[in-house]
């Protein structure tokens, strides 16, 4: 096992990894920018090292600074958290070239899934159900028109180097395919330096359901059910839950089995998430994320598993301590992502947090790096806390989230807390009856009403 791990991240996810290290008897090294000298992850780690100025490009994204920090502190492995360098295949290669261990999958698997056409071809060949569409890339307009006519409109043109909602263009009818194809290509070339696009049937009212998988890197893998992440705004998840209100045990076992089998067959190592659109009882693969996700705690709550501990174990060459037969979800978990943002615009609201008080009690977990007096810097994303509740069933989880939100105090900056109170009062949300479009439509309606 590793003696010392460097965490190449900040905020609540850095704390999450430090806590796992401490429970495993592993020393932790925090890295930070000059803007984060007073950040909680710096205080909580065993050691901390400054790696550069405030802009992430010169600190949390600086490969030489992070490699140097490992050499100076004697850290043997790097946990990337999410975002920043977590899905950067070149970084993983450099880490390995320096005799260090990246806590995550191989650079080959990251590269494979980072190219969305390759990811889809790979998954399709492994028996994972995919959205109908082009076989691979679409090289020219004639081919785009032919595919549109073949699969039927609406279709969506997606950049192979995109993902997470970046680089997509909708064509509602044949009249729109030329513009959609040409703009998608031009934008993909400008944004990613790669113009390649593919085409899919556009699903009108799906849910976003993702399967948590875990590979041991030796051909073994398990799944830990699904998360429903349909409540999003501008491709940013707002609230996630496990299990999905739309999925039963038999469906979970079937799609979970397909996903675990797929990652086992490619020899995948570590945590991964296979994203699907789910409509009319069918799953359609869209992307695979090769990192630990922000919303992993809802899975941890219902499966009673420490996913970061498993990541570290697998990276150190130890076997998974998970057995598929023992993995049964218990109860229901919901995560509210609390951002320092002003409603209704969602404009970032950095600044001094005068008072911070975290809720507690049975079934409540607060993952946050806030403290009273902390000054939220303007340079990074606006997530300030994840409030995760667990109940025996969905109704209990909802009541618990309501109760916990009432105990939470974040004073001095605006936050998205009021959004969750309003959401939990909505009959559609209480029933679990929502698609990927529900939140944006509801926000548009609320704004119109308030004038
Ligand atoms: C789609 C789709 C409908 N049909 N693909 C957006 C993010 C990226 N991961 C994939 N996305 C979508 N792909 C087909 N064939 C609708 C979306 C989409 C979406 C997906 C998940 C969650 C929220 C979304 C919001 C708008 C569009």
Instruction: Indicate if ligand 1 lies below 6 Å from the C-beta of 286.
Output: yes
Set 10, 111, 291, 337: catalytic member:
291
Tell me whether residue 394 is one of the annotated catalytic residues: no
Q: Phi first, then psi: what are they for 100, rounded to 5°?
A: -105, 165
At CB < 8 A and 24+ separation, what contacts does 416-421 make?
Answer: 416/238, 416/337, 416/338, 416/339, 416/341, 416/343, 416/346, 417/338, 418/343, 419/238, 419/343, 420/239, 420/336, 420/338
Instruction: Name the residue at shortest CA distance from atom 6 of ligand 1.
Output: 165
> How many A from CA of 156 to the centre of ligand 1?
9
Bridge-partner residues for 48, per DSSP? 30
Instruction: Indicate if ligand 1 lies below 6 Å from the C-beta of 203.
Output: yes
Instruction: Name the residue at shortest CA distance from atom 15 of ligand 1.
Output: 202
Instruction: Indicate if ligand 1 lies below 6 Å from the C-beta of 205.
Output: no
Q: Would you say the C-alpha torsion 191, 194, 199, 205 has a positive or negative sign?
A: negative
> How many A from CA of 186 to the centre of ligand 1?
20
Q: What gap in Å lies between CA 336 and CA 334, rounded to an integer?
A: 7
Q: Judging by beta carbons within 10 Å of its beta carbon (0-12, 13-18, 19+), is residue 167 exposed, middle or buried?
A: buried
Instruction: Indicate if ligand 1 lies below 6 Å from the C-beta of 12.
Output: no
pLDDT values of the chain reduced to their tens digit, one per residue, 451 residues: 999 999 999 999 999 999 999 999 999 999 999 999 999 999 999 999 999 999 999 999 999 999 999 999 999 999 999 999 999 999 999 999 999 999 999 999 999 999 999 999 999 999 999 999 999 999 999 999 999 999 999 999 999 999 877 889 999 999 999 999 999 999 999 999 999 999 999 999 999 999 999 999 999 999 999 999 999 999 999 999 999 999 999 999 999 999 999 999 999 999 999 999 999 999 999 999 999 999 999 999 999 999 999 999 999 999 999 999 999 999 999 999 999 999 999 999 999 999 999 999 999 999 999 999 999 999 999 999 999 999 999 999 999 999 999 999 999 999 999 999 999 999 999 999 999 999 999 999 998 887 5
Q: Which atom of ligand 1 is nearest to the CA of 200?
A: 15
Strand order through the sheet with 207-216:
282-289, 269-279, 207-216, 221-233, 236-242, 332-339, 383-391, 364-368
Instruction: Name the residue at shortest CA distance from atom 9 of ligand 1.
Output: 164
Q: Would you say the C-alpha torsion 207, 250, 273, 70 has a positive or negative sign?
A: positive
pTM of the model: 0.97
Instruction: Indicate if ligand 1 lies below 6 Å from the C-beta of 164.
Output: yes
């Amino acid at each position: 096992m590793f003696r010392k791990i460097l965490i190449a991240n900040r905020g609540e996810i850095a704390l999450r990894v430090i806590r796992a290290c401490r429970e495993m008897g592993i020393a932790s090294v925090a890295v930070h920018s000059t803007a984060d000298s007073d950040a909680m992850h710096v205080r909580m780690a065993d050691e901390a090292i400054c790696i550069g100025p405030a802009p992430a490009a010169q600190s949390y994204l600086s490969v030489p600074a992070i490699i140097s920090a490992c050499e100076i502190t004697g850290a043997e492995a790097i946990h990337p958290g999410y975002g920043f360098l977590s899905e950067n295949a070149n970084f993983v290669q450099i880490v390995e070239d320096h005799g260090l261990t990246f806590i995550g999958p191989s650079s080959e698997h990251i590269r494979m899934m980072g190219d969305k056409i390759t990811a889809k071809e790979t998954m399709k060949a492994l028996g994972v159900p995919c959205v109908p569409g082009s076989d691979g890339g679409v090289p020219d307009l004639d081919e785009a028109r032919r595919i549109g006519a073949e699969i039927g409109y609406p279709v969506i043109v997606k950049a192979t180097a995109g993902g997470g909602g970046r680089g997509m263009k909708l064509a509602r009818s044949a009249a729109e395919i030329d513009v959609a194809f040409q703009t998608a290509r031009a934008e993909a070339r400008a944004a990613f330096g790669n113009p390649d696009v593919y085409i899919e049937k556009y699903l009108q009212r799906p849910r976003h359901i993702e399967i948590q998988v875990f590979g041991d890197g030796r051909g073994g893998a398990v799944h830990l059910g699904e998360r429903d992440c349909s409540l999003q705004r501008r491709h940013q998840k707002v609230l996630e839950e496990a299990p999905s209100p739309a999925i039963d045990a038999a469906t979970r076992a079937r799609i979970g089995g397909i996903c675990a089998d797929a990652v086992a067959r490619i020899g995948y190592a570590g945590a991964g998430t296979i994203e699907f659109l789910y409509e009319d009882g069918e799953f359609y693969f869209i992307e695979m994320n090769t990192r630990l996700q922000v919303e992993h705690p809802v899975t941890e709550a219902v499966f009673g598993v420490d996913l970061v501990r498993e990541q570290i174990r697998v990276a150190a060459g130890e076997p998974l301590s998970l057995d598929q037969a023992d993995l049964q979800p218990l109860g229901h978990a919901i995560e509210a992502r609390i951002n320092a943002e002003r409603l209704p615009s969602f404009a970032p609201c950095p600044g001094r947090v005068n008072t911070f008080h975290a809720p507690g009690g049975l079934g409540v977990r607060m993952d946050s790096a806030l403290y009273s007096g902390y000054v939220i810097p303007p340079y990074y994303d606006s997530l300030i806390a994840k409030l995760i509740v667990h109940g025996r069933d969905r109704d209990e989880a909802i009541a618990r989230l309501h109760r916990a939100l009432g105990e939470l105090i974040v004073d001095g900056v605006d936050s998205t807390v009021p959004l969750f109170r309003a959401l939990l009062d909505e009959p559609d949300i209480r029933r679990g009856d929502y698609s990927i479009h529900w939140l944006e439509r509801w926000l548009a309606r609320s704004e119109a009403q308030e004038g």
